[in-house]
Amino acid sequence: MIGTIRKHSSVLWWIVVVVVILSFVAWTGDGPSSFTSVLNGPGGRYGEVDGHRLTQDEIQATYRQLLLQDRLSERPRSMTDDQRESSAAQLAFIDRKLRSMGIVADDDVLASVIRDAFRDQATGQSTYPTLIERIQAFNGREEDYLSILRRQVEQSLLVNVLSVPDALITPREAEAEYRRENEQAAASAVFFISTNFLTSVTITPQGLGTFYTNRAQNYRIQEKLVLSYLKFSGTNHLATAEAELAKIPDLTNRLEQAYASRPTNSFVDDQGVVLGKDAALVKLRSDAIRANAAARAAEVATEVYNDLAQINPAKPENLEIVAAKRGLKVEITQPFARGERPFGLDGIADLNTDLQRLTPELPFTEPVTAADGAYIIAVKTRIPSSIPPLKSIEPRVTDDYRRFLALEAARSAGQAFRNTVTNGIAAGKTFTAIAAGQKHAVVDLPPFSPSMTMVPGLPAYADLGSLKDTAFALEPSGVSGFTLSRDGGYVLFLKERKPVADEVLKAGLPAFLVEARGRRSGSPFSQWFTEEWEKSSVAAAFRPKPETNAPAGM
């Protein structure tokens, strides 16, 4: 339909370089049933896309790509297994939609993207080999990364095809929107902050007990885990790794190439000081030795894991059995809650994800690689969550109760003041005079507009988003109702609205027009994808199945 992407599409390249290379798309959606159960579902069917049946291999491939994206990201997305599984199905779906629409990024296109995007600006050297070394260091696949990249290039073209043309937003429309976004509100307010009422509240034993009973779940102690694990340290293989490295005939040239492929300021010591070339080459050599040693440790871990797989039934205690036969020591962690990082396993980046995959049928992890070696981990003990008795945490509950009462007192005072304002204005008094009569301080706010995300001089307790919503819903000389905030609330008086100055409009409108067109261009793709996905049989296959065996009366 649309044909193969051409290498020199100027419309495409800014999308590819700015959006595709620097960030990856992760679709989120309804949590499906277990990934394993879906893949092993009736007849092995996962739905169809334009007459083509999705296969287990396709979905497993996109799942693998999502894991690779998380590994490469400096800030991995927080995704449950269900969310990642749904995302994998959606990626497989979009891959098939792109193919059926004839949108194909061939190898020449990928080569062009890699050449243009993975280049060090200072040296002109390609950084792509370094990226692939990083991927291979944690047993990732280059072909998975290329699939990710190919999809992003193809998707960027589809975004361009579906985008609303620039002409659909005119300069006149942009100017009107710019004026609305930059009109400034001049306002004053009386704030009622809970901390100002802390000393005036009274705490009774009965009230404290009722407060705790109604909120006992807030004090629940999380389930804690105790892990047992085998560590296969890379240091045990350093000598062998160094000897093998020494056998490489062109080692010096390879180190030189690796040094040239990265910015010189990326080589630093433990204190962050940039290393000279000779010291950097020494560091590269040392890093290569450690990586090789860690890989050898992972091989030993795989052998031990294969031994574990031979023992039936599978249970966490099998780790001790295999360890005893091989003369290995099983380490035990201190109890820890999910989200915490137990001492001894702090080098494992995705520990929580690895633990989430454990089941009664598979109670220990496959070998988990880390910079210092490899690990096999099992959950030894689960300490159930519990609600502690009030006496054991009474100081904490008392402090929470005092803050609760102070918040209620602040809001009660704020509502009473708003009632007084209503009566006072009807009697011809000013907002400032009414506040002074009630002994409340009036805060003159610095001017702010809907487009502002930060206002110098705004009090720390004032929420800018709430103030904007409140102020721009009023006419000049209008008074708001009592508006709740996290720490209490406020009553706002709008003095005036100041229109944007002509010189500000003239200077800011061109860039605003470009930004507005850019915002509008992405929405058709999102709408298109949502509609196509929701009506697809793939989405239906991955939705949770309704319970059919619930007990009577439920």
Q: pTM score > 0.95 for this model?
A: no
List, for residues 205-233, the tens digit of each pLDDT value: 999 999 999 999 999 999 999 999 999 99
Q: Indicate the fold that domain 184-218+391-498 takes in CATH.
A: Chitinase A; domain 3 (3.10.50)
List, for residues 441-456, the tens digit of each pLDDT value: 999 999 999 989 899 9
Between β-strands 103-104 and 3-4, what pairing exists: parallel, antiparallel or unpaired? parallel
pLDDT of residue 550: 37
CATH architecture of 3-166+517-542: Orthogonal Bundle (1.10)
CA angle 99, 100, 103 (to 5 degrees): 45
Query: Which of the residue ranges 6-10, 99-103, 267-271, 361-365 would you say has the lowest mean pLDDT?
Result: 6-10
Q: Is the confidence at residue 34, as pLDDT, over 50?
A: no
How far CA 233 is from CA of 238, 323, 374, in Å, comes to 10, 15, 7
Share of the chain above pLDDT 70, in %: 84
DSSP3 helix / strand / coil % (the chain, rounded to 5): 55, 15, 35
Rounded Cα distance between 481 and 491, Å, is: 6
How far CA 394 is from CA of 163, 219, 388, 477, 513, in Å, comes to 59, 11, 10, 48, 58
pLDDT of residue 224: 92
Q: Is the confidence at residue 403, as pLDDT, over 50?
A: yes
Q: Looking at per-residue confidence, does 57 or 145 come out higher?
A: 145
pLDDT of residue 88: 85
Rounded Cα distance between 317 and 403, Å, is: 48
Q: Looking at per-residue confidence, does 17 or 173 come out higher?
A: 173
Q: CATH 1.10.4030 residue ranges in the chain?
A: 3-166+517-542
Q: Would you mind telling me the total number of residues written for the chain in this entry? A: 554
CA angle 220, 225, 227 (to 5 degrees): 170
Q: Is the confidence at residue 95, as pLDDT, over 60?
A: yes
How far CA 423 is from CA of 187, 241, 426, 459, 502, in Å, comes to 20, 84, 5, 28, 40
Query: Which of the residue ranges 164-178, 257-271, 276-290 would you say has the lowest mean pLDDT?
Result: 164-178
Share of the chain above pLDDT 90, in %: 36
In the predicted model, what is the mean pLDDT of residues 268-279?
A: 82
Say how many CA atoms lie within 13 Å of 550 toward its Cβ: 7
Phi/psi at 51 (5° precision): 85, -5
Q: CATH 3.10.50 residue ranges in the chain?
A: 184-218+391-498
List, for residues 219-270, the tens digit of each pLDDT value: 999 999 999 999 999 889 899 888 988 888 888 888 888 888 777 777 777 7
Q: Looking at per-residue confidence, does 488 or 12 come out higher?
A: 488
